[in-house]
Structure 1
């Protein structure tokens, strides 16, 4: 990196990390509607255009007017590497800081975050002051939640989305086709036109169960990487236990979110940003 970075010394950056399904997007948006902030996506699959259901991208209404960067911007057939992420994320960080706002980097691709923070090429640690929030949920509760979420994704169009991009002999190691939900549907989509209704239902159910199993495997891999960042690389990560939220539903879940996740995070970030949490909540709104 060149000397431009010197002007950003001690500029503040917030990271929200966690396994898939733990509320990272919700928390980043909630915080960005209370503090003057913009969000940078660090999920290596959500950077691609398309498969909004499969990749669980936040909708326009869910964004609540908060600007998002690196979300659904990259050609779905291209390769987006950790280096690509670092270059684009740094550019977005600089633009956000210059606008007087705080960058919130949120997503589950911890390899991208490690490259950004640790690679000496980017001099990130000497340029920025960082705060790391880890939204954590106990594994039994999280596994149950992500399983139900897959069922909801199927109901809202997962199969149809994957069918739209399906091509025989597709490379599932590149681009958006890496997304969990795409490779698992391959055999079903190849065979569906040749099967009777019962056979199709059986094969589809098997593909859905595989999606659920692979999602749980992803959760474990992400969790292992977070522990490595915290224990081996000594990142000062603040863990927020959101388990109680996922054990409830409806109004009770929303109340638990505010009490056990949002309010503690606001208090921690108010101290980090040197602002009064109540004043920020009352005075700042997203245009």
Structure 2
């Protein structure tokens, strides 16, 4: 979801402060209404990896869908011939994960998550949450809340 333009809080895009001077790539490059596929990722990521290695730096592909990484590292024979890959898998206990996610959502709400989604929400349209950035976790879930908010506002006007 972080490849899409917009909804920086909802998609939990890394901030400049969090980057700590380390360049990050492919954030906010895709049209929010388009479907960015694993083939799109492969097409965009390959030249970025090349530019990083030419500068004698180590490219790190972090996060994202496994299908994106598979498309790049497994389904692209040229990529496999050019680069050695090391895969790290992080496993966490469910209680630790739930605690982390709960705290993360609280931080995102405080940072303006609801207002960010509200800006793109149109109460007069039935939204399609199967396309583009609207598939981001939290966006479809806020639909009911924002529709009720709009109807309450209309009743109180």
TM-score over 0.5 for the pair = yes
TM-score after normalising by structure 2: 0.89
Q: Distance in 1 between matches of 2:36 and 2:84?
A: 26
Q: Which residue number corresponds to residue 90 of structure 1? A: 46
SS in structure 1 at match of 2:13: coil
- Residue of 136, 140, 157 corresponding to 1:183: 140
Higher strand share: 1
Q: Distance in 2 between matches of 1:59 and 1:195?
A: 35
Q: Distance in 2 between matches of 1:99 and 1:150?
A: 37
- Quote how far apart the aligned CAs of 1:124 are: 2.5
Q: 1:122 to 1:79 in 2, by over 3 A?
A: farther
TM-score after normalising by structure 1: 0.50
Structure 1 residue 165 and structure 2 residue 143: aligned?
A: no
Structure 1 residue 154 and structure 2 residue 109: aligned?
A: yes
SS in structure 2 at match of 1:66: coil
Q: Which residue number corresponds to residue 81 of structure 1? A: 37
Extract unaligned runs of 5+ from structure 1.
Answer: 1-44, 197-287
- Quote how far apart the aligned CAs of 1:193 are: 2.6
Q: What number of residue pairs does the alignment pair up?
A: 151
SS in structure 2 at match of 1:114: helix
Residues 11-42 of structure 1, C-alpha deviations (whole Å, 9 max, x = no match) = xxxxxxxxxxxxxxxxxxxxxxxxxxxxxxxx
Structure with max Cα Rg? 1
Q: Distance in 2 between matches of 1:94 and 1:79?
A: 25
Aligned counterparts, 1:75-224, within 5 A: 75-119=31-75, 121-167=76-122, 168-195=125-152
Q: Which residue number corresponds to residue 27 of structure 2? A: 71
Residues 173-205 of structure 1, C-alpha deviations (whole Å, 9 max, x = no match) = 111111001000111111213238xxxxxxxxx
- Quote how far apart the aligned CAs of 1:134 are: 2.1
Q: Which residue number corresponds to residue 53 of structure 1? A: 9
- Quote how far apart the aligned CAs of 1:113 are: 0.6
Residues 76-113 of structure 1, C-alpha deviations (whole Å, 9 max, x = no match) = 11221110100111010111111111111111311111
